Amino acid sequence: MPNAITSVRDCAGLPSMASTPWPRPVRRHPSMLAGAQMSEVKDAAAKISPLAGHPATAAMLVDVPRLVTAYYTEVPDASVPGQRVAFGTSGHRGSAFRITFNQGHVLAISQAICDYRQQQGIRGPLFLGIDTHALSMPAYASTIEVLAANGVEVMLAMQDEYTPTPVISHAILTYNYGRASADSGRADGIVITPSHNPPDNGGFKYNPPHGGPAETDVTGWIEERANRLLRSDLRGVKRMPLNRALHAATTHRHDYLNAYVSDLGRVVDLEAIRGAAIRMGVDPLGGAGVHYWAPIAERYGLNLTVVNEAVDPTFGFMTLDWDGQIRMDPSSSYAMQRLIALKDRFDIAFACDTDHDRHGIVTRTAGLLPPNHYLSAAISYLFQHRPRWRKDAAVGKTVVSSSMIDRVALKLSRKLYEVPAGFKWFVAGLLDGSLGFGGEESAGASFTRFDGTVWTTDKDGIVPALLAAEITARMGHDPGEIYRDLTRDFGDPIYDRVEASATPVQKKRLAQLSPQQVKSAELAGEKIQAIITRAPGNDAPIGGLKVTADGGWFAARPSGTEDIYKIYAESFRGADHLRRILREAQAMVDVALAAPEHSDR
């Protein structure tokens, strides 16, 4: 069945890999640039679709009946690499139209997880959640059939309500509290979501008993087992009819919503928000938390308006993202046009993506905050207003997040824990309280409770959103103003990320780059201070390399979920300097990838 939505790279107008051995990047997230400076770098954004920021037309909407039909009728061929199960940094994702997310994939992954649980001796309940993508409910049904047939004690939401990713993490940790790591009765979880990906996508994530994203060795085991099942035409998959599965003795209902909402007062100062009568607006972007916000407002007496309560699997209410696609990305100024237009109605406004594990903060003073700006402001505030946190609790960031965070952490006299991309690297620190905060440049974050104990070990979009209101209430300034104060102390950096298509071979070569392959001694006219391929915080490979000078840096790495590579860059010297960094970064990558292929052996 043909795909109703063009791929990202086609929409971006990128040249063919056959005609161009290493294509020039296309800007994906110009919203990461400060609003006042965006015009200075507009020449680099030539690939932005003219439709970006405009409402979708009827012709652009996914045909949901055809999509669901493709889920059931298209059969993946495990001999075709693109149709196999593939866990990236955020689980397995794909589209039923492209035969990358179909019933065969879901049945195989579900059985593989059951086999993994048996191998690991995990016999506690499995908390199962879904988002609002059209493929999530069919995948939910397939998963339940397999879990029940394997005798897994599965916890479903009341009335099959949508369940955000952080709510599943919270449920796992709450159940496992006080249980030893060797306890076979510990719980784990599955979230069926492709995050903020387009409406024709589906996704599948596994969270082990620690409540966070599964480690690479875990997802690798599940991926290999699932593909073995696909190759055997699903022989070995246990399954029972859905009606029987729903009424099985091992299938239970759990009140996710009230368990999560009733606990929020232990991580965010909701009394301060209520006392200051902060006017808040929230756009759930049609996602899994759509029915959580009203109970939050009611329980805590908040002046909070849900500006859009629609649940529409076509997501036809969205404005189009940078490439003319529908994408529920709360960090994209193009996708967030509706809420940005309402900013003056509220003291603070926010949105979350489809599974509510990412946040977008809209202020009256600055509009939509770039993720790095809000992370910096949130870290500055939290470590000065959480006196019960451990004195040695560190600040967690990824190597591709802003160096503004480094400067904030230094002023706070807090250790910086810098790790590769992927929230899984923050799990252990959030669990034991050695991290007070963990955040990614892609607008994903979580932090510990007031008493320094774990809240979630997966990204939580709801809590950072409410924190923006707490900051506004307690400081009398919104996070945009807090960030502006930080720039007076530390400088005003410009940050950007660009992307281009890459073959699997090219991605592998980029992931294996060594410092010796960078021949230049300078970056944008400044002496290179460091070239790293391993993260300073945990010595884990970053899957690429990062080059740092006094006034800026860049990092290049392949995507873990798409056939693209990414170059991240930041300058404390201005827009011209940033452009020069990006040009030189691309040249360094070109030279490195043209070097002898010793790293491919």
Closest CA to 431 of 153, 113, 179, 163: 179
| Residues near 542 by beta carbon (within 8 Å), at least 6 away in sequence | 399, 420, 421, 532, 533, 534, 535, 555, 557
Contact 453, 177 (CB under 8 A): no
Q: How many helices (H) and strands (E) does the chain have?
A: 18, 23
Contact 381, 483 (CB under 8 A): no
Contact 323, 8 (CB under 8 A): yes
Tokens standing for residue 373: 């700006």
- Return d(Cα 225, Cα 118) in angstroms, integer: 13
Q: Which residues are registered as beta bridge partners of 532? A: 546
The burial class, CB within 10 Å (0-12 / 13-18 / 19+), for 247 is: exposed
Q: Which of 90, 195, 332, 442 is catalytic?
A: 195
Total count of residues recorded for the chain: 601
Residue at 166: amino acid letter: P
The 3-state DSSP class for residue 169 equals helix
Contact 121, 258 (CB under 8 A): no
Contact 483, 373 (CB under 8 A): yes
* Residue owning tokens 């022989």: 235
Q: Is 195 a catalytic residue?
A: yes
Rounded to 5°, the CA angle 267-368-583 comes to 115
- Return d(Cα 523, Cα 486) in angstroms, integer: 25
Helix axes 371-382, 462-475, angle to 10 degrees: 60
Q: Which residues are registered as beta bridge partners of 548? A: 530, 553
- Return d(Cα 342, Cα 362) in angstroms, integer: 9
The 3-state DSSP class for residue 547 equals strand
| Residues near 488 by beta carbon (within 8 Å), at least 6 away in sequence | none
- Return d(Cα 573, Cα 494) in angstroms, integer: 8
Closest CA to 209 of 119, 125, 107, 87: 125
- Return d(Cα 195, Cα 203) in angstroms, integer: 7
Q: Is the dihedral of CA 506, 507, 508, 510 positive or negative?
A: positive
Q: Is the dihedral of CA 134, 138, 140, 143 positive or negative?
A: negative
Q: Regarding beta strands 87-88 and 348-352, do their DSSP bridges make them parallel or antiparallel, or are they unpaired?
A: unpaired
Residues labelled catalytic: 195
